Homo-oligomer: A and B are copies of this chain.
């Protein structure tokens, strides 16, 4: 099947490229570790050409639509933030990235920011747009788990407000660099230990940094298994997030957008609180969110 356009999720540490065919079908997918943080602005085009070289042909200009940190000030080209309340992807703020190769034409979507309190997203706005493209009348809360998890309130097709938590990054720091790295090193997982962590975090929500340390003496004194401690740690961090966001999910329609593993954890943590959130696949959401940009573009230029 012919590739009609390319969707890019180009974040700080990774680049995921999707080859999109007729009717929005994902034909192929390439993962690269060439994230924004290792690239100077002048290196983005060559990096992209190398990653998607098999998808290009000499007599054709491929349309590429990108979201994520590629549009940050230190990325390829800055796509200025839209400020809430706003559509998740404001068409007027999409920018054309400079390219030299005639086989390539690249657009980057803007991120979304909030003032008082200050907050930012790049990439998640596209996932929200993707969900709204399929569910335009949705009104409720969208939870986007990840390195920097986000909770967004969405009504009337707009992001009204959002809050970011350092959940995924803290889990990574603690299991790789902290005193907990020994007692949480494990390939095992245990849902009940995870849910116990969620419960502990919710019962004593102001004791997070004591609960974190407490994993070490539990390993030393009670001989608790590393796999249980690792799952409990994850539960403590996700439980802290769910506690802080309780007004966002109590009595609300909640959709979780993320990778399947993370999304399932948030789903069972919320299920423990009598909520049944929907899960929408994070990769599909990226493609669905970038599709309207690709479609509008084709109309304007007619180069596809």
Q: A-side interface residues toward B, CB under 8 Å?
A: 81, 113-115, 117-120, 148, 163-167, 169-170, 173-174, 177-179, 204-210, 212-214, 216-218, 220-222, 237, 240-241, 243-244
For the complex of A and B, list the 8 residue pairs with the smallest distance between their C-beta atoms, beginning with the closest: A205-B206, A118-B217, A166-B213, A120-B217, A165-B209, A118-B221, A164-B213, A207-B244
Instruction: Give chain B nearest CB distance to A53 CB in angstroms.
Output: 31
Given that A173-B173, A178-B169, A214-B164 are known contacts, is A118 also in contact with B206, CB under 8 Å in the complex?
no
Residues from chain B with a CB closer than 8 A to the CB of A221 are 81, 113, 115, 118, 120
Instruction: Give chain B nearest CB distance to A83 CB in angstroms.
Output: 9
Q: Is the CB of B244 within 8 A of A166?
A: no
Which single residue of chain B is at the shortest CB-CB distance from A119? B217
Given that A118-B221, A173-B178, A177-B177 are known contacts, is A240 also in contact with B208, CB under 8 Å in the complex?
yes
In the assembled complex, the Cα of A49 lies from the Cα of B102 at a distance in Å of 71
Q: Is the CB of B179 within 8 A of A209?
A: no
Instruction: Give chain B nearest CB distance to A163 CB in angstroms.
Output: 5
Given that A177-B173, A220-B120 are known contacts, is A209 also in contact with B208, CB under 8 Å in the complex?
yes
Q: Could you write out 30 A-B pairs with CB less than 8 Å apart?
A: A113-B217, A113-B221, A117-B214, A118-B214, A119-B213, A119-B214, A120-B216, A148-B179, A148-B213, A164-B210, A164-B214, A165-B210, A166-B179, A166-B209, A166-B210, A169-B178, A169-B179, A170-B212, A173-B177, A173-B178, A177-B177, A205-B206, A206-B240, A206-B244, A207-B244, A208-B209, A208-B240, A209-B237, A209-B241, A210-B241
Residues from chain B with a CB closer than 8 A to the CB of A240 are 206, 208-209
In the assembled complex, the Cα of A169 lies from the Cα of B240 at a distance in Å of 19
Given that A177-B173, A178-B173 are known contacts, is A206 also in contact with B209, CB under 8 Å in the complex?
no
Residue in contact with A210 in the complex, picked from B163, B218, B222, CB distance below 8 Å: B163
